[in-house]
Amino acid sequence: MTVQLSALQGDITQLAVDAIVNAANSSLLGGGGVDGAIHRSAGPELVAACRLLNGCKTGQAKITPGFHLPAHYVIHTVGPVWNGGQANEDVLLASCYRESLQRACENKLKSVAFPAISTGIYGFPKQPAATIAVQTVQQYCAEKPVPLEKIIFCCFSKEDLAIYQALLM
Ligand code: AR6
């Protein structure tokens, strides 16, 4: 089965998929941006579950239930802070996508939605970040059979959506 990749504009907390990915920080205890929105929608059970995870290193990913979200699970990953591009940011961002897909596959999930990791508060330029996101996901799905059927790039802005649509054409 080929995995269907698509982009949409919207609020990731509203998506009824098996898992949404959270662009978290290494404490996993919540923050601003998409992280804040996910914690608000999931309810206080999410931070309680995250407290048991002992944080998460940049480029890695950990999974929790979605609690009050429409999504069954949240995969928390920590993107790199943009530091000019010479600090391994590309490799670490690609690792976030791969590790998140790994958590999804281990749990036999069929649908996952990603936000544009690191491109908000962490300052990673949008175009190269989207290229890494799409290429890494395509490579991962081409390497081996995966249970995934649907992968969504959930864009918050129209500008992000245009970038992803061009890459997915
Ligand atoms: N749905 C989808 N995308 C969203 C939503 C939403 N509800 N809200 C924001 N975005 P950011 P980062 C987009 O800043 O750069 C937090 O404080 C946003 O427009 O959320 O990885 C964490 O705790 C952007 O395109 O994450 C960390 O400390 C993308 O999500 C830090 O921010 C990522 O922006 C992580 O920074």
pLDDT in tens, 68-87: 999 999 999 999 999 999 99
Q: Which of 121, 124, 126, 164 to mutate to test the pocket of ligand 1 (most atoms within 8 A of CB)?
A: 121
Taking only the tens place, the pLDDT of each residue in 155-167 is: 999 999 999 999 9
| Residue 151: both structure tokens together | 């992968």
- Per-residue pLDDT, 1: 66
4-168, CATH topology level: Leucine Aminopeptidase, subunit E; domain 1 (3.40.220)
- Per-residue pLDDT, 39: 98
pLDDT tier at 26 (50, 70, 90 boundaries)? very high
Tokens 């330029």: give the residue: 125
| Distance from Cα 102 to the centre of ligand 1, integer Å | 21
The contacts of residue 66 (CB under 8 Å, 6+ apart) are 19, 20, 42, 46, 72, 73, 74
- Among 106, 108, 127, 105, CA closest to 116: 127
- Per-residue pLDDT, 135: 98
